[in-house]
Amino acid sequence: MAGPWWWIPVALAAAGALLMLLRRPLRTASRGAHFTQAKKGFHQQRERLEARFIRLAAAHGGRDDPQWTDCEFDDGVSYVRNRRTGELSALVGVTVALEGVGHPPATASDLIRNLRAGTAVFRFDRDHWETEGRVILNLSPSETIRFYQNDLEVVGEEVAERHA
């Protein structure tokens, strides 16, 4: 009577071993599909995200901080994943024009000094993109990735095409 039941633990052990072997490929495939959907969503929502980013970033400053007068977004996008949390983010290069850095711009060189390069951060939250208006000043997206290389892994990049 005890003989026919031995196959149940063996079958469960075999199923568990198979799941362990397939876990990584299944997770990779799932992340790939998730990334493809997220990337498509970023393109669909980009204009709204950029407007929200500017509004939130400009509001972050205090009364004595330089005020944003303009923000230009690069076309390229770097997609990264946080190694610890798995959170997906999009990094976009920006050039921010600030007013109130030192003194009001009187010459073209003053105006150039008031420009700051940086990286706008957008994050994917379950099924949509969000931003808190966070900018990493003085680092391009590639420099940001190198600086945070222990925390971030690149999952995709879209390089802006230059038209001659």
**pLDDT tens-digit map of 77-94:** 999 999 999 899 999 999
Res 164 pLDDT > 50: no
Degrees, nearest 5: CA angle 101-51-106: 25
| Cβ(141)–Cβ(72) below 8 Å | no
The DSSP 8-state label assigned to residue 151 in this structure reads: T
- Which of 42, 52, 5, 58 has the alpha carbon at shortest distance from 157? 42
For 43-60, the pLDDT digits (tens) are: 999 999 999 999 998 777
Looking at residue 42, what is its pLDDT?
Answer: 94
Res 19 pLDDT > 50: yes
Looking at residue 129, what is its pLDDT?
Answer: 96
Looking at residue 68, what is its pLDDT?
Answer: 79
Res 28 pLDDT > 80: no
For 110-139, the pLDDT digits (tens) are: 555 578 899 999 999 888 999 999 899 999
